[in-house]
Amino acid sequence: MLRAFSNQIRIVIEKFLPNAFIFAILLTFITLILGMFFTDSSLLDMTEHWYGGFWNFLAFTTQMILILITGYALVKAPPVEKLMIRVASIPKTQKSALISTILVAAAAGYLSWGLGFVLGALFAIEVAKRVPKADFRILIAAAYTSVIAILPASITLTAPLLVNTPDHSLEETIGLIPLTETIFSPTMLLAAGLGLLIVIFAYLKMMPKQENVIPFNSEENGEMTKTENRTPHSFAEKMNNSKIINYALVAFGVLWLIMYIVQNGFNLELNILNFAFIILGLALHGSPSSYINAITDGMPSASGILLQFPFYGGIMGMMAGSGLISIIAQSLVSISNEVTFPLLSFLSAAIVNIFVPSAGGQWQVQGPIMIEAIQSYNLHPSVVVNTVSMGDTITNLLQPFFALPALGLARLELKDIWGYCLVTMILLLIANSIIVTVIPLIF
């Protein structure tokens, strides 16, 4: 049943779904029209909001590009690549290839969503190379989907970390909320655990029949052009390949990481994760030259991020500047009661995320609205944190914003994986709707 349903969606998508950049452009004009229709903003106002937000993602864009190419370089370091190839060589069938890809991507996603997106895609590629019976598109989709499914319990989930940080923007209202009330709560653990089981079930049911399998194609999906390391002869080449310079820098970086962990604990925010990737990558490559070559090889996969993220920044600017986020959130909250509030909070976050695919940005705008609304009910503020976080993650399977790294690494288009993602999103949406409604009533 799921296979037939996903096949029908895939056929429709291949005919009508444009590439991810066109998706961002269409979403821009949809937001523009909605802002002019539902708010007091004029065309000129919306234009100012658009450009005002256009560059707001610059820092995040750089962080995502770095996590993509430094993650690529890390995985391509000889020791890591050998280990990944060894593990990727274990599956022999399409079924075992899917399960292993899902579990590896989910494990990485639990530690860090950025690591999950990169490592999951690269592992799926290595598995696809070795299992020609496995469909390459479904492996990439499964890797991406499993990271989304595990995110409610990920130790790098944005909103729970923000409200557990001293001096956060809502501390005077809700205080500090410990992680035991958010990512380690029954709601989030059940959502992540059940979500992962749903992903495994759905993808095994959606596996294409053998005659319909599209395997990995070395010409279309193969490795980026590798830059060869030259044997050092001149003084300059010896400097480029100097292990002394390389490991002196690694030691300096490790010193900072130790200082950071001592002071802040194991808090893998994006800047620290990128820094750790760089230092660990340098250590595993053994020389500056080898590491530079790996970074160069990975750069082409970041082109989609570089172009499209500013447009999503513009969409977010229009959503926040015009007040559309507030209208969506308040309209759903206005029809809620103590029992339905968690569900409507979850659904409102899922809708807003389509237009504002940035967890931190969405929480800063939507969080205060939902926290204010919850004051009328006998519900803990953690309910808002959890439901908004879950809603924010679920529609990432509809919104291609975070799929761009996986698509760039795999050299695929959005239409190649979107059908699989959409089917799984529907199943996860149903399961999570039940969880956020029932669990607050029990605990």
| pLDDT tens by residue, 137-150 | 999 999 999 999 99
Task: Put residue 265 in one of left, alpha, beta given phi > 0 → left and psi -120 to 50 → alpha.
Answer: left
Question: Is the model more confident about 14 or about 326?
Answer: 326
- Please report the sign of the dihedral spanned by the C-alpha atoms of residue 247, residue 248, residue 254, residue 258: positive
Flag whether the pTM goes above 0.75: yes
Higher pLDDT, residue 400 or 37: 37
Contacts of 293 (CB under 8 A, 6+ apart): 226, 227, 228, 229
Is residue 188 very low, low, confident or very high in pLDDT (cuts 50, 70, 90)?
very high
- Which of 213-217, 222-226, 282-286, 360-364 is the most confident on average? 282-286
CA of 353: how far to CAs of 5, 26, 48, 61, in Å? 25, 16, 21, 17
Residue with the bigger pLDDT between 290 and 112: it is: 290
Helix, coil or strand: residue 443: coil
φ and ψ of 185, to 5 deg: -85, 160
pLDDT greater at residue 53 or residue 240 = 53
C-beta contacts of 247-254 below 8 A and 24+ residues apart: 247/283, 249/279, 249/282, 249/288, 250/279, 250/282, 250/283, 253/278, 253/279, 253/282, 254/279
pLDDT attached to residue 146:
96
pLDDT for residue 283 is more than 90: yes
Give tens-digit pLDDT for 344-356: 999 989 988 888 7
Residue 431: is its pLDDT beyond 90?
Answer: yes
> With contact defined as beta carbons under 8 Å apart, do 335 and 344 qualify?
yes
pLDDT of residue 220: 65
**Cβ neighbours, 10 Å, residue 305:** 25
What is the average per-residue pLDDT within 327-340?
81
What pLDDT score was predicted for residue 267?
67
With cut-offs at 50, 70 and 90, classify the pLDDT of residue 357: confident
- Residue 130's pLDDT band, with cuts at 50, 70 and 90, is very high
What is the average pLDDT value for the chain, to the nearest integer? 86
Q: Report pLDDT for 425.
A: 95
